[in-house]
Amino acid sequence: MEMSSEWLWHNGFRMPRFEHAACGIGFVVNVKGEKSNAVVRQALTVLRNLAHRGATGADPNTGDGAGIMLQIPHAFFKKACWEIGIDLPAPGQYGVGMLFLSPTDKARSERICEQCLEQIVQEEGQRVLGWRTVPTDATCLGETARTYKPFVRQIFIGRDPRIEDDLAFERKLYVIRRRIENEIRMRRMRDLASRPGQLPFGSFFYVSSLSHRTIVYKGMLTANQLELFYPDLSHPAVESALALVHSRFSTNTFPSWDRAHPYRMIIHNGEINTLRGNVNWFHAGQAMFKSSLFGEDLHQVLPVINPEGSDSAIFDNVLEFLVLSGRSLPHAMMMLIPEPWSHHESMSDEKRAFYEFHSALMEPWDGPAAIGFTDGIRVGAVLDRNGLRPARYYVTQDDLVIMASEVGVLDIPPERVLYKGRLEPGRMLLIDTEQGRIISDEEIKHQIATTQPYRQWLNQHLVELAHLPMDCDVVVPPLPDHTTIVRRQRAFGYTYEDVRILIEPMAKEGVEPLGSMGNDAPLAVLSERPQLLYNYFKQLFAQVTNPPIDAIREELVTSTELMLGSEGNLLEPGPESCRQIKLNSPVLTNTELARLRHIRRPGFKSRMLPI
């Protein structure tokens, strides 16, 4: 039986939430927003020069993935669509969807997915202008890539004249995409239940992009195959002022056509180590979502996160939703990947207040990562707080910015280079083609941090645990005697080695306990002896790609602070959104626990749960 990535997932062999990658990323942008075919050609050159950062399987012609994101090339589409009887309106008055569909003759003749999408477009008040079959050349593909190659189509959607705002049209296209994705997913699950063990309906269906600004060409390709597979990219009329490229290296995943980058807004090299917690908290907060921009459409786009996506895809889901909900692109990126701020002594108070306020709204999406991002007008890149992924950039005298995972991806004569640099940990590189300039990290973050009186809000509503009053009637339990401590240690599963090797060095010398990386003890779930609760938990990241962090010597980038308290509406926060209790550490003393047990402040209640 042929085992596609879809079959593996539906039969429990592939777990998308564990999927990460180490890749090559890059972009080319004309700062002044001048569209040209040269930008596209240069971006494809960057991609080919990042080929060594991509990967293949045993079949050298089946790549882990490669792709490019462009601004919509109107001149090219105008001509190509005219030839098949589609008369496109002016730029910005239509959106283009790039879809993967089933390649079988039966599916292509029945057009079930296409008809379903057409119906949703009409229900949302927009017009289907027509469909275009994207020319593809599979002769360059390896056997595996060719076996699971989808049928690639483009849909052109006309804008309702009553929609005057560009972002409102982009939001409507997003609603259309989320509706068709949810519809196909539900049909697929029903089909899977009725025909277990077989490839269900809609397994090939995927929307690479649906936007009036950008379009994505990608697939299970090598960097050198992208242009060969999509002849569109070789046409001289394909012009753009910006282009993002990605060459994928799956460290511990199954490659597939849909998991190639770019996604709708990002390219990503790295992994999100905190993914499970990020997803759980985001799901929990959805019940509180209210949006004046989405209005009644909000319920149609929930849940925001596609559970079948990789960590990059899920990050893209959340970023796209935050931007369409009203935040600027750099604002959303500052929320998701904040700088290390809690121990940063030289950081301005305004910026520190911004990060502290938003820490009450959302946990950082943390891990080694270099991420390029765009909304079709602004393009930028950001590095994780530890700087564990490379990102270099060049700025030329003729208004080009080239950013990539390494230098040398594009042959630029030295006399053309205005300046060059590397992206620093936690810093952002941002180019706004509408303003026609590069905006410095300091300027953009100061501008965003001062849009609201975040420090004032924190002073009014954030409570530090140490500032909670102690009730005079509260009796802190005395410290137990030695016999009691030993009895409790045994009851909770502490061993002689735990005490001697781990606890004693910390208590006596104040030093980190040292041990080997390996552990030959039985897994907690298989052990016949009582185990501590945390022994049942294992790390979910690839250890070889995550260098160890010294929490003492690298105090700036490590933090144990956390917030307690109910969370409000993430989409439209106000001053009371930070009404929480700030803890410096999750480990509490008896005195601190007593402060929480007997808290008497508006907005807070405490309860004791019996074990």
Catalytic residue numbers, as ranges: 23
CA neighbor of 290 nearest in space, from 608, 569, 593: 569
The three-class DSSP label of residue 149 is coil
Residue tagged 């009203």 (tokens) = 326
First-last CA distance in the chain: 49
| Measured distance CA(152)–CA(57) in Å, rounded | 23
DSSP collapsed to 3 states, 310-336: CHHHHHHHHHHHHHHCCCCHHHHHHHH
Q: Are 304 and 317 in contact (CB under 8 A)?
A: yes
Quick one: the chain helix, strand, coil %, rounded to 5?
Answer: 35, 20, 45
| Residue 169: both structure tokens together | 């049209």
For residue 456 the two structure tokens come to 């004032």
Cα Rg of the chain, angstroms: 26
d(CA 11, CA 17): 15
**Residues 186, 358: Cα–Cα separation, whole Å:** 34
Residue 323: other Cβ atoms inside 10 A: 22
Task: Give the pair of three-digit tokens for residue 600.
Answer: 């008497």
CA 321 vs. chain centroid, Å, equals 11
Between CA 172 and CA 175, with CA 173 as vertex, the angle to 5 degrees is 65
CA atoms within 13 A on the CB side of 259: 26
HSE of 584, CA atoms in CB hemisphere, 13 A: 7
Cα distance between residue 76 and residue 232, in whole Å: 9
Question: 379 by DSSP, 3-state: which?
Answer: strand
What does the block give as tokens for 216?
């994505």
Residue with tokens 């669509």: 81
Check: CB of residue 506 under 8 Å from CB of residue 513.
yes
The span from the CA of 402 to the CA of 419, in Å, is: 11
Report whether 211 contacts 77 (CB < 8 A): no
Phi and psi, residue 118, nearest 5°? -60, -40
HSE (side-chain half, CA atoms, 13 Å) at 212: 25
96: β partners: 156, 211
- 393, 288 Cβ separation under 8 angstroms: no
Q: Which DSSP category does 21 fall into?
A: B
Q: Output the CA–CA distances (angstroms, integers) from residue 200 to 6, 10, 146, 178, 180, in the order listed.
A: 9, 9, 19, 20, 16
Report phi then psi at 321, rounded to 5.
-65, -40
d(CA 525, CA 532): 11
Spatial distance between the Cα atoms of 598 and 579, rounded to a whole number of angstroms: 17
